[in-house]
Amino acid sequence: MTQAPPSDTPVIAVDGPSGSGKGTVGRRLAGILGWHYLDSGALYRALALAARRAGVDLADGAAVAALAPGLDLAFEGDRVRLAGEDVTAALRSERCGEAASRIAALPEVREALLARQRAFRRAPGLVADGRDMGTVVFPDAVAKFFITASVEERARRRHKQLLEQGLDAKLPDLFGELAARDARDAGRRHAPLVAAPDAVVIDTTGIGVEEVVARVLAEVRSRLGGAVPDAS
């Protein structure tokens, strides 16, 4: 795996399994700090979508990785465009999450997306959300969080979220899909889903978003000093 180039720009890594709330917390944190935000899962999801559309075998690491340099991806607020097309809804489907998890297990694919993720590191700072932000992509992050929750609670959250978005979802199916995705992401050989040894682990089961954000902010404040604004 390629080493990260040295940089003075601070990164906060927010890793964790699906539906733990890392995206919600990461976006809130980036907004409060006025920093850039990287949703690294969206890169894996977009590459999986592009591969499926190109008829590429998702198990063929070299062929999927070959699509990465030409991936024409644009983040516009909460929307994501692939070659100009708004693919936000397509990317959020569990089918795409599963495909992303499959290609993410291939070392060629992870390597092909590495420089692209690191390019998000721009002043004044970056909040990066994913599975290996603190372990592989930004090992020198100033603060690392591992946000988790029970698989039951994560499935319930994802179910509610998908219904709110007008998408069809069944709770037992989601539970099975999340558990299978957790097992694949945590069990792979390259950059598995695991808390960095120096990460602050927050189990959000039964804890609301506001309290999680408050805990994260308190920790960030202790690392970065008093210049961190309040959550409101």
Ligand X SMILES: Nc1ccn([C@H]2C[C@H](O)[C@@H](COP(=O)(O)OP(=O)(O)O)O2)c(=O)n1
What is the closest distance, in whole angstroms, from the C-beta atom of residue 212 to ligand X in the complex?
15
β pairing state of 36-39 and 73-76: unpaired
Show the CA angle centred on residue 151, arms to residues 163 and 180, nearest 5°: 90
What is the closest distance, in whole angstroms, from the C-beta atom of residue 222 to ligand ADP in the complex?
21
Map residues 156-175 to x or -, x wherever contact with ligand ADP holds by CB under 6 A: -xx--x--------------
Q: Is the peptide bond before 69 cis (omega within 30 degrees of 0)?
A: no
Map residues 187-216 to x or -, x wherever contact with ligand X holds by CB under 6 A: ------------------------------
> Residue 162: how many CB atoms within 10 A of its CB?
17
Calpha distance 153→18 (Å, rounded): 11
Judged by CB under 6 A, which of 13, 25, 28, 45 binds ligand X? 45
Using CA atoms, how far residue 29 sits from 3, 6, 24, 57, 231, in Å, is: 26, 23, 9, 37, 8
> Residue 171: how many CB atoms within 10 A of its CB?
14
β pairing state of 143-148 and 11-15: parallel
Q: Which does 207 bind (CB under 5 to 8 A by kind): ligand X, ligand ADP, none?
A: ligand ADP
- In the complex with ligand ADP, the residue whose CB is nearer, 124 or 208, is 208
Interface with ligand ADP in residues 1-20 (CB under 6 A): 16, 18-20
The answer to whether residue 101 forms part of the interface with ligand X (CB under 6 A) is yes
Binding site as annotated, residues = 16-24
The answer to whether residue 177 forms part of the interface with ligand X (CB under 6 A) is no
Binding site as annotated, residues for ATP = 16-24
Judged by CB under 6 A, which of 18, 24, 135, 148 binds ligand X? 18
Show the CA angle centred on residue 14, arms to residues 9 and 16, nearest 5°: 155
For residue 106 the two structure tokens come to 């291939």
User: Contact positions toward ligand ADP, by CB under 6 A?
Assistant: 16, 18-24, 157-158, 161, 204, 207-209, 212
User: Contact positions toward ligand X, by CB under 6 A?
Assistant: 18-19, 23, 40-41, 44-45, 97, 100-101, 104, 130-132, 181, 185
